Amino acid sequence: MRNAIIIVFFLLVSSWRVSAETSDAAPDDAAYVRLQQLSAMNLNIGASFSTDSLLWLSRKVEAAARVAGSVSREFKAGQILVNAYGLAGNLALAASKAQELLDKAGREENPLAMGLAIQAIGDTYLVAGRFVQADSLFTKAEPSIMQYGDCFMQAELLLQEIHVHLSHDSFEAAVPEIERLHTLLDTTAGNLPAVESYRFLLRSYEVLLAIRLGDTARAGALLAGIRTSGALQEGFRMWVYYLESQYRLLTEDYGAALQYNDSTLSIAQGGTNGDILFETLMSKASLLEKTGRNREASELYREILRITDSLYQARYTVQIDSLHATYWTDQVQMANINRRNLLYAWIAGGLFFLVAVTLVVVLLVRRKNRQLIRSRQELEAARAASDDSLRTKSLFLSNMSHELRTPLNGIVGFSAILTDEESIDEQTRQQCCEYIRENADLLLKLINDVVDLSELKDQSIRFTYAPCDVVALSRGVLKTVENVKRTRAEVRFVSDVEKLELMTDRNRLQQVLINLLINATKFTPQGSITLSLHLDEQAGEAVFSVEDTGCGIPLEKQPHIFERYEKLHEGVQGAGLGLSICQLIVQHGRGRIWIDSSYTKGARFVFTHPLNLKPEQS
C-alpha cells in the first residue's frame, strides 16, 4: 500500500520536465518554456488544468523540435509525453510512446537521445510497480544523461533513482543519491529556474527516508522545515499531506493521519488520475481499520473494489503485457546496439593497432636506415683514413729514406776519408770534421722533427707556460738564424713595441719562429727576410709574420702547405714536417697560423698568440 502511494506521488513529480538541450538549436522557445512551467507548477494533473493541455503542449513542442532538427529537445518533449500518459493512467500509450523513442534513438545514434528513451521506458515500468526493471533501466540511462545532459536532466534522473530505492525498500542505496543531488543543486543553482521546487522535493524524500528508517526525530525536524517553507502550491500540497499522514502513522497518531489522508483524498477526487484516487482510498481504508472504524473500512473496501473493476480489469493485464514486451524489446535493441558498438570498437581498435604498428615499423626502418648511412659514412671515413695512413706511411718511408740517406752518406764518406787517408793535411781534416758535424746536426733535426710531430699529434708532449718577453725572444732568434743562414738575404726584425710579455712556452715559440725563418732562408738566396710583430688589441692577440722576397708558393699548393711530408721543392733538404709542427704548436697555444695568399712578392706566413693566455686554456 505505502509503495503504491509513493508511485502515485512520484508520477506527479515526474511530470515536471525541463530543457535537455545540449548543442542543437532551440526551436519554439516560448512553447517549450511554457511546457516547463506547466509541468513544474502543476504537478497534480487535473488539480488546476486538464490532462489534455499537457498532452497537447508536449506534442506541439515535440513536433516543432523534430522539424528544427533539435534531437535532445524532441526526446525531452517525448519523455514528458510518456509521463503525461502515465499520469493519465494510460500505460499502454505510455509504453508505446517510450518504445517509439527507443527505436528512433537507435536510428539517431545519439547517446543523449538513447539515454532519455531508456529513461522513458523506465518510467513506464515505474508506473506498473516494476521497480527492479525500472532501477536497471535508470542505471543504463545514467552514463549518457550524466555525461551529455544538462543539470535539469541530471537532477530529474537522481530524483527517479532516489524514488526507486525508497519504493522497493533499498533505503540505504538512496543515501548516496540524495548526497549527489544536494551537490548538484548547490553547484548549478544559477542554471535551475525552479531550484526551490527541486529543493522541496529533495527535502520531501529525506523526510520519507527518515520515516522508512523509523527515525522519528529526524523525520519530525525535516517535516517542520517543509511546513515553514511556504512551498504549498497546488502541485506540492498533496505531497505535504501525504508526508504528514505517513509521519502521523509512524508516531501512531492515527486520527491525525486520517485527517491528512482525507485532505489528500479531497485533492485526488478533483483530478483525473484514477490511480491516485484508488491508492488514496486504500490508504484511508487501512487507517479506518487502525482506528477501529471497521464498518466504515468495509464499506470503503467495497467502493474500492467497484473502482478497481471499472479502472483496472479492462486494461491492466493488457498494459502489463505491453510493458513486458517492451522490456524484452528494449533488451534485444540494446543488445544489438551494444554488439554493433562493440564491432565498431573492434574495427577502430584494429585500425588503430595497424596504424600504430605501421608507424613503429616506419620509424624502425628509418632508424635502421640512418644507422646504416652512419655506418657507411664511418666505414668510408675509416677507409679514407686507412688509405691516407698507408699513403702517409709510404710517403714517410720514401721521404725519410731519402732524407736520412743524404746526411748518412756524408757522414760515412767523410769518416772514411779521415780514417783511410793518412796523408791529408790539417785543413782538409778540419773540413771533413765540419761536414760530418753539419750532417749529424741535420740528421738529429730530422729525428727531432719526427719525434715532435708524433708527440704533438698524440698530445703527449708537455708545454711549460711562463711569462716571456717575446720581443727579446724574437731578436735572439734573429741572431741565431743570422749565424746559420746560407744566403745573402738580409734578415731583420720589425716590432710595434719595445717589450711584450706573453704567457707562453718559450722553447716552442722559438721553435716556430726558427722553423719559419729557416724555411724562408732556403727559398730566398738574396733580398730580405722580415720577422714582424704587432698588436691587435681589439682581438686580444699578438700577430707574428715572416715574409721573404723569395720564389713564393704557387696558389694551387698553398692549401696543402701545412700537410705532413708536403715539400715545395724536392731538391731542398727537409722531410716536409716543419710547417706541420708549427701548426700543431700554434693551435696548442690557442692561436691560428696561415699563409697570406694576397702577398705576391714572395711568401708570408702569419700566426697569432693570445695576449692573456692562461695555461689551463691551452
User: Do 483 and 536 fall into the same domain?
Assistant: yes
User: Do 303 and 419 fall into the same domain?
Assistant: no
DSSP letter, residue 493 = E
User: Do 87 and 168 fall into the same domain?
Assistant: yes
**90 found inside a domain:** yes
**332 found inside a domain:** no
Say what the pLDDT of residue 570 is: 53
User: Do 496 and 456 fall into the same domain?
Assistant: no
Last residue of a domain, one of 314, 330, 363: 314
- Structurally, the chain folds into a number of domains equal to 3
137, 333 in Cβ contact below 8 A? Answer: no
Last residue of a domain, one of 436, 461, 486: 461
pTM above 0.75, yes or no: no
Chain centroid offset of residue 469 CA: 63
Segment 462-501, tens digit of pLDDT: 778 889 999 999 998 888 788 777 788 889 999 989 999 9
Gyration radius of the chain over CA positions: 55
**83 found inside a domain:** yes
User: Do 292 and 352 fall into the same domain?
Assistant: no
**555 found inside a domain:** yes
C-alpha cell at 521: 732562408
CATH number at residue 492: 3.30.565.10
**Domain that residue 238 falls in:** 2-314
User: Do 129 and 198 fall into the same domain?
Assistant: yes
278, 309 in Cβ contact below 8 A? Answer: no
- Residue 494 dihedral angles phi and psi, to the nearest 5°: -130, 130
Last residue of a domain, one of 461, 477, 506: 461
518, 546 in Cβ contact below 8 A? Answer: no
User: Do 253 and 154 fall into the same domain?
Assistant: yes
614, 483 in Cβ contact below 8 A? Answer: no
56, 34 in Cβ contact below 8 A? Answer: no
Say what the pLDDT of residue 45 is: 37
Cα–Cα distance, 549 to 528 (Å, whole number): 6
**331 found inside a domain:** no
Decide: helix, strand or coil at residue 315: coil
Cα–Cα distance, 363 to 88 (Å, whole number): 67
Decide: helix, strand or coil at residue 390: helix
Q: What is the number of other CB atoms lying within 10 angstroms of the CB of residue 228?
A: 7
User: Do 134 and 86 fall into the same domain?
Assistant: yes
**226 found inside a domain:** yes
**422 found inside a domain:** yes
Per the DSSP assignment, residues forming a β-bridge with 546 are: 531, 605
User: Do 427 and 481 fall into the same domain?
Assistant: no
User: Do 141 and 214 fall into the same domain?
Assistant: yes
Decide: helix, strand or coil at residue 150: coil
Cα–Cα distance, 173 to 521 (Å, whole number): 109
Say what the pLDDT of residue 22 is: 38
Q: What DSSP assignment string belongs to 12-45?
A: HHHT------SSS---SHHHHHHHHHHHHH--ST
Average pLDDT, the chain: 77
**325 found inside a domain:** no
User: Do 107 and 210 fall into the same domain?
Assistant: yes
User: Do 425 and 530 fall into the same domain?
Assistant: no
117, 81 in Cβ contact below 8 A? Answer: no
C-alpha cell at 581: 709542427
Q: Which residues of the chain have pLDDT under 50?
A: 1, 5, 7-26, 42-49, 313-317, 320
Say what the pLDDT of residue 421 is: 59
